[in-house]
Structure 1
Amino acid sequence: METLQKCIIDIKQILLEARQKAYQATAFAMIEGFWLIGERIVKEEQQGNVRANYGEQIIAQLSKELGKGFSERTLRDYRKFYLLFPEQKDLAHTCAKLSWSHIRLIMRVENTQARNYYLQETAEQHWSVRTLERNINTLYYQRLLASQRKDIVVEEMQQKTAEFQQDPYEFIKNPTVLEFLNIPTHYAYNENDLEKNLINNLQQFLLELGKGFAFVARQKHIRTETQDFFIDLFLPPNICHICPQRKSSLKK
């Protein structure tokens, strides 16, 4: 029995490590691709530098051609990414350990020393995106510099960000990852799903009202001389007489 339990634990660990490798490979492929796009945009802009608005024209056209997931703002982020980290070695050594969400947060830090600190610490300490965001927003780097007892500041940060570090699948849940991998993302119900859920709720509501209210059918088939109709939710005609105040509103 103990041998079987150890086997189960070992296999779970193997799966965890394999998934982490897959996530890291995907993250690096994304970051490398975005860096190369930024490089290409910058080089194209430099070729057309005689026209002041040439860069914006490139980005607008690219956004139109590339479609969903490549807004003009996103393409400007790629360009900024390349300009902030123009050396390929920086990308390979440090940025490869992060996700694009990490990079976007770090790019918003204007101070070069602070930006480099967050870049290095996030990679070495495996900060989650939420941990990094909180540290930037609470001026963690500046507070460390100003503190004589840095250990107290570090300990406080670790305590307050502990819950942010507990989701091992944070990266793969990011919609940007799904878009990059060309996997459909479902941000909303389609029309049929929306109708189904609305009617489910209405049906349950009517059933719970009890005496005086009746639920007859869904998608009730009604045929006329020229057409067939399907009523989403069919109620008896006298339901409106039960509540006169509702009757006028229903007619509207």
Structure 2
Amino acid sequence: MSAEIEIYKGLLTDIKNRVRQGQLKVNLAANAEMLVTYWDIGRMIYNQQRQKGWGKGVIPKLAIDLKNELAEVKGFSERNIRTMVSFYTEYSNFSIWQLPVAELETNTILQLSVAELENDAITKLPVAQLEVINQQLITKIGWAHHIILIQKIKDLPIRYWYMQQILKEGWSRDTLLAQIKSKVHERQGALVHNFDNTLTNSHSLWAKQTFKDPYIFDFITLATEFSERELELELVKHVEKFLLELGAGFAFVGRQYKLEISDKDFQLDLLFYHLKMRCFIVIDLKKGDFMPEYAGKMNFYCSAVDDLLKHETDKPTIGLILCKGKDKIFAEYALRDLNKPIGVSEYELTQLLPDDLKSSLPSIEDIEKEFFEPNNTPENEN
């Protein structure tokens, strides 16, 4: 009987996976069809504007008429139609739009898995093929994300990079806006590290794509003088936002994680496990600038975690030292001859106003008094 139950469970799992695959395929096909339609509408409007000399005034009229004649169809506001025209002009030369949607679904180049995006396999392709893939990435991105990318990112290669991250990380619109605001494309992989010397090529590339410099902790506010424990507590207090800044794949294991080594207790500031890289990550927080001795201490921690916690199928533990500042040369020398993979990054905080500056600012009561003073009303102005 137990064997039949296991067989049934396997069947149930297979069916659920197949249903999910089907749903994903339907959603991708629907999204691709919508994007092709919007691109084509943008093309028609743009060409008429060029050929007939119509100005921008045609768009408000189209928005009204389409709303009246296609009342059941959403998405034809004046603003959205203008974006359709921009969508066409941004990608007017792309051959991807000449393919039927059915071919978009089955085209082998489009079958980019998350793993392929994560290990950067597409960047090793010939330039011509890479350009085709970049074009085809567009069909996998939702319209709302496209609006943000067109409005915020003018450089096309950077825009492609954000498209890849949207697919890899599953960014919502709000997350995408936050990441663009923080210029995450400039921060990714910018840390000082020794990954090339301590990890395999594929794992080193993955690690460099995972870590950033600097990390932006704008969700916490600390006084100018703060302790490392205060920083640690604030990060854990806002662990969801902390994980979002760290990136997809980080799972929080614990703070002040205790390791017993030769009858002595050692505590790790923060311990994570990365579900995609399949390794532990030790984070050491420093309130000041990087010092060379921090690297040796982190090397010790990584060795201990590899011996005491790491499973035989896990990848080597990675250490990340987060400092308020760093001298790049110091950090490079400190990491050069260590045998454990370690990175050094800076972090940025939102600082509280100093007390002397606070005292110079008006209170809420002063502002209200000034605002509501009868002599300061518009009617009494000359």
Task: Describe the shift of the 1:162–1:110 C-alpha distance in structure 2 as closer, same or farther (beyond 3 A).
Answer: closer
Partner residue in 2 for 1:191 = none
1:95 to 118, 122, 138: 138
8 Å contact from structure 1 (residues 101, 129) kept in 2: no
- Give the partner amino acid of 1:15: V
- Give the partner amino acid of 1:41: I
Tell me the alpha carbon deviations over residues 73-112 of structure 1, each in whole angstroms, 9 at most, x when there is no partner: 1100001111111123355612111111121111122431
Partner residue in 2 for 1:65 = 65
1:24 to 28, 43, 62: 28
8 Å contact from structure 1 (residues 38, 78) kept in 2: yes
- Give the partner amino acid of 2:90: L
Cα distance between partner residues in 2 of 1:12 and 1:100: 28
Provide the aligned C-alpha RMSD in A. Answer: 2.9
Aligned length: 158
SS of corresponding position for 1:9: helix
- Give the partner amino acid of 1:62: L
1:114 to 143, 158, 161: 158
8 Å contact from structure 1 (residues 39, 79) kept in 2: yes
In structure 2, list runs of 5 or more residues that go unmatched.
68-73, 98-134, 194-207, 217-241, 250-382
- Give the partner amino acid of 1:81: F
8 Å contact from structure 2 (residues 63, 77) kept in 1: yes
The answer as to 2:142 corresponding to 1:136 is: no
8 Å contact from structure 1 (residues 38, 75) kept in 2: yes
Task: Describe the shift of the 1:42–1:145 C-alpha distance in structure 2 as closer, same or farther (beyond 3 A).
Answer: farther
Partner residue in 2 for 1:81 = 87
Cα distance between partner residues in 1 of 2:187 and 2:213: 10
User: Bigger CA drift: 30-39 or 79-88?
Assistant: 79-88
Tell me the alpha carbon deviations over residues 42-100 of structure 1, each in whole angstroms, 9 at most, x when there is no partner: 10100123xxxx33222112101111531111100001111111123355612111111
SS of corresponding position for 1:37: helix
Greater Cα radius of gyration, structure 1 or 2 = 1
8 Å contact from structure 2 (residues 190, 212) kept in 1: no
Higher helix proportion (structure 1 or 2):
1
CA shift, 1:155, in A, is 11
Cα distance between partner residues in 2 of 1:19 and 1:154: 38
TM-score with structure 1 setting the length: 0.55
Cα distance between partner residues in 1 of 2:85 and 2:25: 28
In structure 1, list runs of 5 or more residues that go unmatched.
164-252
Tell me the alpha carbon deviations over residues 12-64 of structure 1, each in whole angstroms, 9 at most, x when there is no partner: 10111000001000110111111111111110100123xxxx33222112101
Partner residue in 1 for 2:243 = 159
Task: Describe the shift of the 1:17–1:110 C-alpha distance in structure 2 as closer, same or farther (beyond 3 A).
Answer: closer
8 Å contact from structure 1 (residues 109, 115) kept in 2: no
Partner residue in 1 for 2:345 = none
Cα distance between partner residues in 2 of 1:84 and 1:8: 45
Identity %: 25
Task: Describe the shift of the 1:145–1:3 C-alpha distance in structure 2 as closer, same or farther (beyond 3 A).
Answer: closer
Give matches, 1:1-252, under 5 Å.
1-49=5-53, 54-67=54-67, 68-89=74-95, 93-112=136-155, 113-123=157-167, 125=168, 127-130=170-173, 131-144=175-188, 147-148=191-192, 150=208, 151-153=210-212, 159-160=243-244, 162=248
CA shift, 1:146, in A, is 5.5
